[in-house]
Structure 1
Amino acid sequence: MALEFNKVIAVIDIDDHLAPVIMQTAASLTAASGELHAIDSNPFITTFESPYAAGAIETDSKAHQADAERRQEAMEALTARHAQNATVAVLDGDPSRDAASYAKKIDADLIVIGSHQKTWWKRLLLGSESSDMLREAPCAVFVVTEAHTKRLQA
């Protein structure tokens, strides 16, 4: 018997080379009658904190919106190739918190996320979204690793 879940969320960074493998893995773990949701996060990054930088804030906002549109189009193309019935969403904010909130909202059974197995120093300095997800998730989490990707390609 294959392992299948009814409500699966594929947490994708559309700019990451693991995106297709995460999508394929999530699709393969979704039951035939289940729901697959593909989400990406678009963090809002401001370049200026000064109240005198109103023009810069407007520029940041426009860049943020353009990136959200780019991510949406790329996510739709990815799901068209790997999971045509997936629901696509691009959320504003932090990937691990967005995914955990989304999972609670739809009562998900599984979250599929990628991991790059950063070294200890990189995790310390840059953080780890997959580690954050494991802490925040309200359901099971399947972590797609580089090793899993290589095994699929072999």
Structure 2
Amino acid sequence: MTDHPPRLFADAAAIVRVGQGLLACTLPRAEWTHEAHLGATTWLARERPDIDLDAELPGIIRRYNESVGGVNDDCQGYHDTITRVFLHGVRAHVADRPAGEPLEACVNALLLSARGKRDWPLRFYSPERLFSVAARRGFVEPDLRPLG
């Protein structure tokens, strides 16, 4: 996996736009980046308590993928285990941050942290397990070490 510096958000409005675009299925596909995933999820976790992320995030992402011409199958699109691992990381990150911190500071700190790296789930999973069809279809427990 290529490691390059994350694209940071200039302000909270940019993050809110991504989150709202995800929910409304209006975000251009090219903008649905790793950073956008984490920004939108952080915004949802912090600002949208009306959305039960454990129950609703999979459908939100699947619906968005399909709205931009994507396919959710055994090889592409929504990946349940990766989504749930990063949701766990987002929640832990938000819990560690100061109350009242600006959204962009929180998201950018996440993107610059270990939890924000694209390969972070591989600290807990072997590639074979993480990239399996079973892990894409539903959550599978880590095989290297617990999420903690």
User: Under a length normalisation based on structure 2, what TM-score does the superposition of the two structures give?
Assistant: 0.30
Which structure carries more strand by proportion?
Answer: 1
Which structure carries more helix by proportion?
Answer: 2
User: Under a length normalisation based on structure 1, what TM-score does the superposition of the two structures give?
Assistant: 0.29
